[in-house]
Structure 1
Amino acid sequence: MEWAYDGVSWVLLRWHDLWSNVFGGDDNGFLQTDWAWVLAIVGVVITLRVILFPLFVKQIQSQRAMQKLAPEIKALQERYKGDRETLQKEMMELYRKEKANPLMGCLPILIQMPVFLALFHVLRRPDPDQTLNTDLYGWSGLAAGAGSDWNTYVHAKLFGAPFWSTFLTPASQLEAVGSSSVTVKLVAGVLGAAMILTTFLTTRQMILKTGWNEDPNQRMIQKVMLYGIPVIMIFSAGAFPIGVVIYWTINNLFSLGQQQYVLHKYPPPAQNNANAKPPKPGSKAHEKMLEEQREAEQRRKDLAPKPGKRPKQTPSATPKPDPEPGVNGSAVNGANGSGQTKGGPGAGKNLSRAERIARAKKVSGAQQASKKKKG
């Protein structure tokens, strides 16, 4: 993780240098807040969002493609029920043809996690009791004077609460930088509530726009993400430094705005969103909906068996029609013209009812004629 610590620190410090020049090094000025460090953390969010925006768009496009393919995937599952290997091959071919990637939805989260963990590590390191390794990750350390990165961050505050402090920080540490436990708990509590609320709203916005999944297992995962993660954060937010809570809250606010834009530009398929209002006839949205319906119908036709197509039969399983009985009564004796036996169980089962009746009459007539000759 050293590469992540170095990268996040470099971005954070470059933004801090920029805003320090703007504010003229006025630490903890207006509202007892060091705005240079606040805006530096906001700068990290902006940098990450700009880098991830193309991936986020691809994530939404991939989700839309997966939603369009939901009926076709269900048809494949029914068609190849019990043949898992063939089902997987057909699904992979469908994904490739329609340019859908089920793993694309996880990629932005996988990239954000190292950044969050690195920022968590970097922002919780500085505190008044720490005197070793203060110059790691490109920071100017404790020995560089009062204007060093380390010292300015240790004394930086948000509404009087140090950036490195948490809801559980003891009062003895806070007194060393002129803060109090009550102030920190108040600021950390309000920020923590904002972090939990924005996390809930971000997840809710995505689920409502894309719709609840029809699969019970996937729907359960959605509910866990919507309600379970905020509940977990209630108990874990107290251990987060205020600087990290600022990052998380600002990141959620950016996510809300970004998702609103992307979801408006790439709306979910109408057939997968029962709560969506139908677009007005003649509008671009209506034409797009009709096009999606035509594409889905064509894919269903491609997957469905051809009309009138029957399963292939082996030659041994295909019964041959019996020859019509001749006037010489060869059918009665069970012999054809070549002298081969033709009869046995199932003989004539492919004949129609009328043909079977006619055949029985002929057989009966031949038997009576035979009796007369014997008599």
Structure 2
Amino acid sequence: MSLDWIYWAISWILLLWHSAWDAIGVSAGTVLGTNWSWILAIIFLVVTLRVILFPIFVKQIKSQRAMQALQPQLRALQEKHKGDRETLQKEMMELYRKEKANPLMGCLPIFLQAPVFIGLFHVLRRLDPINEGKTRYGWTVDQFESATHARLFDVPIAGKFGSSAAELARLNASGASVKILAGVLVAIMIATTYLTSRQMILKTGWAEDPQQRMIQRLMLYGIPASLLVSGAIFPIGVVIYWVTNNLFTLGQQQWVLRKYPPPPTPSRLPRPGESSSRRTTDSRNAAQPGRPGRQPKQEAKPAGRFGRAKTTAAQPQKPAVDSRALAPKPGAKPVKPKKGRPAKRQG
């Protein structure tokens, strides 16, 4: 299948934005050794693409919310079919079909952006003086020559980290400066690619589905690691596109996740007849070491004369005194009280 239609579409958007910046005078000369009209054309190619794909991005977020809501049922299926992977996969596929959830929806925006990346890579790779007079995809000779000599900080955007000596000579570029700028941009590309995946996983959590978790690990570690090798063959203009796309994604994800936060995921499934307040109390007590459960409160003792609580269990009670035993016996002489002290009143 021919990909010429992709090359034509990318060229049309790129040239349209370059003409727009050229019309307002941005392309007149260079500032800081940079032809900003072409740099801005690449940046706004990203903006155009992300605006077109925004509805797909919203569907991606909704699909991730649906997958989160299915986590308890997925855990139950994993416990039920532990050791039977084939049956587990069938049950999970049936659950996805019933609930209209698609675990692959999270990768759809990347799949849709892949043709754009391939098209831009192909178009910018042709920016070589050896191809002068062989313009394609709607480029004029003047546009081709302008893009071929376009620079970012005196480094041609058609150059790459792995450019050969012959390519550098045709582009009139220094090998050291190309490698330094390309190396810095590739490092930023790898870091921002990792951060975009990490941002989403931190907000939504790791998936319970093994297939979905494998995709998350591939996005988080696999793609950034692959860029260590493939980044050497990307033209600087393509790396600019990738970095801009990652920065746009970080901002877009932050806005969407703040406006539509993911639902809280319960730590465990409730037991039959167990209330939510009881589960919350048990979880709090379990989190504190040395407290397996909440002890019943002891009843408060009434305060004594001097504000100290009376104890009934720790101290033995004094035997009660019989007042009748202290009374004088019939016929006995009354006992005279000592002088200076009032006589005790007999009861």
Report if TM-score (shorter chain) is over 0.5.
Answer: yes
User: In 1, Cα distance between the equivalents of 2:169 and 2:239?
Assistant: 22
* Aligned-residue offset at 1:18: 0.4
1:194 to 179, 188, 205: 188
Structure 2 CA distance, aligned partners of 1:250 and 1:66?
29
**Aligned match of 1:111:** 112
Report the Cα offset of residue 169 of structure 1.
Answer: 1.7
Which structure is higher in helix share?
1
**Structure 1 residues 273 and 162, CA, compared in 2 at 3 Å: closer, same or farther?**
farther
Distance 1:232 1:51, change over 3 A: same
- Contact 1:160 1:184 survives alignment (8 Å): no
1:227 is displaced (CA, Å) by 2.4
Alignment correspondent of 1:10: 12
Give the number of aligned pairs. Answer: 270
> Equivalents in 2 of 1:172, 1:121: separation in Å?
19
Please give the alpha-carbon distance, in whole angstroms, between the structure 2 residues aligned to 1:82 and 1:201. Answer: 35
Cα displacement string for residues 309-368 of structure 1 (whole angstroms, at most 9, x for unaligned residues)? xxxxxxxxxxxxxxxxxxxxxxxxxxxxxxxxxxxxxxxxxxxxxxxxxxxxxxxxxxxx
Q: Which amino acid aligns with 1:237?
A: G
Match of 2:57 in 1: 56
Aligned partner of 2:238 in structure 1 is 244
1:335 aligned partner: none
Indicate if the aligned counterparts of 1:200 and 1:227 stay in contact, CA closer than 8 A. yes
1:25 is displaced (CA, Å) by 3.4
Give the structure 2 partner of residue 138 of structure 1: 138
Question: In structure 2, what is the Cα distance between the partners aligned to 1:257 and 1:151?
Answer: 35
Quote the sequence identity (%).
59
The aligned amino acid for 1:154 is: T
| Match of residue 121 from structure 2 | 120
The offset of 1:80, in angstroms, is 7.3
Moved more, 58-67 or 105-114: 105-114
Q: Is 1:270 aligned to residue 271 of structure 2? A: no
The unaligned stretches of length 5 or more in structure 1 are 142-147, 275-296, 302-375
Amino acid at match of 1:270: P
Contact 1:211 1:272 survives alignment (8 Å): no
For residues 120-166 of structure 1, what are the alpha-carbon distances to aligned partners after superposition, in whole Å with 9 as ceiling and x for unaligned?
101111111223531x111113xxxxxx1100001100001111111
Q: Shift of residue 104 of structure 1?
A: 2.2
Deviation at 1:231, TM superposition (A): 2.2
Distance in 2, matches of 1:214 and 1:89, equals: 16
SS in 1 for 2:265: helix
Q: For 1:208-233, what per-residue CA distance to the aligned partner results, in whole angstroms no more than 9, with x for missing partners?
A: 11112345565454334322322221
Q: Where do residues 44-83 of structure 1 align in structure 2 (5 Å cutoff)?
A: 44-76=45-77
Aligned to 1:334: none
RMSD (Å) for aligned C-alpha atoms:
3.0
Aligned to 1:182: 176
Q: Please give the secondary structure, in 1, of the residue aligned with 2:10.
A: helix
Does the CA contact (< 8 Å) of 2:26 and 2:37 recur in 1? Answer: no
Superposed displacement of residue 81, structure 1:
8.0
SS in structure 2 of the partner of residue 271 of structure 1 = coil
Give the secondary structure class of the aligned counterpart of 1:139: coil
Q: Kindly provide the amino acid, as one letter, of the partner of residue 43 in structure 1.
A: F
State the TM-score, normalizing by the size of structure 2. Answer: 0.69
Contact 1:128 1:173 in 2 (8 A): no
Match of 2:149 in 1: 155
Unaligned runs of 5+ in 2: 274-347
Aligned partners of 1:77, 1:7: CA distance in 2, in Å? Answer: 46
Summarize the alignment of residues 318-333 of structure 1 with structure 2, pairs less than 5 Å apart.
none
CA distance in structure 2 between the partners assigned to 1:162 and 1:219 by the alignment: 40
TM-score w.r.t. structure 1 length?
0.64
Correspondence list, 1:322-361, <5 A: none
Q: 1:26 aligns with which of 28, 32, 53?
A: 28
State the shift of 1:261 in Å: 1.1
The CA distance in 1 between the partners of 2:33 and 2:243, in whole Å, is 20
